[in-house]
Chains A and B, each alone.
Chain A
Amino acid sequence: MGLEQGSDGGDGGKPAEGRRTAKMGIAFDLGVRLGVSVVIGLGGGLLLDSWLDTSPIFTLIGMVLGIGAAMYTIWDVAHDAMRK
């Protein structure tokens, strides 16, 4: 089986194939993570506001942080792809 006979990732076409597949995985994930980042930021802000009764301060901060996290995710993925 491949488990016993495989290389250690240091030769041939398998590493390149694995990295290509990993990049495909990131592409699958990127779109969802953008939306989820904003939702987490916004949801966290709303929860904090309802808990501390400070509406809408934390909602706005959470939204900005969520959008920031979404932008950071794009930058992180692009940076990682450029490095390789």
Chain B
Amino acid sequence: MIHVEIAGETLFTIAGFAVTNSMVGAVLAALLLLLGAWYVTSRSALIPSRMQSLLELPVEWMAGIVEGSTSRWRSYVGLVIALFLMILVANWLGLLPGVGTIGIYHEVDGHEVLTPLVRPAGADLNFTLGLAIITFVVFVWWGVRVNGPVGYLKELVGEPRYMAPLMFPIHLISELSRLVSLSMRLFGNVFAGEVLIATMLALTTATLFVIPLAFFVPAIFLGLELLFGAVQAMVFALLTMTYITMAIAEHGGENAADEDAHGHLDTEPDSHPAASPA
């Protein structure tokens, strides 16, 4: 029987705090990233080894894209790369053998149902919503920083002022739609991938089919999931970059940044002459 839960399943509780299998997936992805970061930083060389080149490749690629967005790219490149890598590793983790297949059996409505010990983090809306909230807070913060709090509110109210009762809720819905679309797109794609693979495995391992089919058909879909996982990570990271770029570039924010930038950030205290001791 095909059984795929929409919500993450609770494995155990710590002081009333439920630990779900998707949380285990997220922690494993974070640990893998930490391990990769430790490996690169501890053995980095001017002439990189193959492994170092491989680990640096996604970082350099994403940094190259973000670099051209605005003159303040250094302020948010870390966030965009972190989101990309986290989502990529979390998505690909779900394709490893044992993830979603090793777990604890329990009975639901007279059927034996498996609760996997690890589930891809992206297949849980809590994870994708959490990432989307981070993105939302950052681009709203950039909007407030560039326009000022009053300027940002004026943006939401819109022009002319007498249209405010109509335009304010429209602007508010439009802003909120970014949050919802970011989280739902990632969740929908990863969860649909999980269901698809589970369905294909169940269909091809049924007695009706011949054995080779049970190997080749899921392999095709696993390959596709490898591609979709990377595409979804890229889309999430690119949209984060786009939203921040729009928040900065609107209303001449980028021009203002150009005047003081040239490699310096106003988030770096040392970049301001006033910040340095006299």
Name A's B-contacting residues (CB within 8 A).
Answer: 1-3, 6-10, 13-19, 21-22, 24-26, 28-29, 32-33, 36-37, 39-41, 44, 65-66, 68-69, 72-73, 76, 80
Contact = CB atoms under 8 A, between A and B. Distances in A.
Interface stretch (B14-22, B24-32, B58-66, B83-91): B58-66
A19 B178 contact: no
Contacts of B56: 1
A6 B177 contact: no
Q: Do most interface residues of chain A lie in helix, strand or loop, or is the interface mixed? A: helix
B196 interface: no
Contacts of B185: 32
B181 A16 contact: no
Contact of B178 (A14, A16, A22, A33): A33
A13 B59 CA distance: 19
B73 interface: yes
B69 interface: yes
A17 B64 CA distance: 9
A36 B235 contact: no
Contact of A25 (B77, B238, B261, B262): B238
B153 interface: no
Given A2-B67, A17-B65, A21-B238, A76 B174 contact: yes
A10 B259 CA distance: 11
* Closest 3 A/B residue pairs (Cβ): A18-B68, A69-B173, A25-B238
B69 A37 contact: no
A73 B68 contact: no
Nearest to A20: B68
B70 A36 contact: no
Contacts of A65: 166, 169-170, 173
B65 A18 contact: yes
Given A8-B71, A18-B65, A68-B166, A28 B177 contact: no
Nearest to B262: A8
Contact of A22 (B173, B235, B238, B261): B238
A47 to B, nearest CB: 13
B177 A9 contact: no
Contacts of B258: 10
Given A28-B235, A29-B239, A73 B67 contact: no
A25 B67 contact: no
A7 B173 contact: no
B242 interface: yes
B21 to A, nearest CB: 27
B85 to A, nearest CB: 14
B213 interface: no
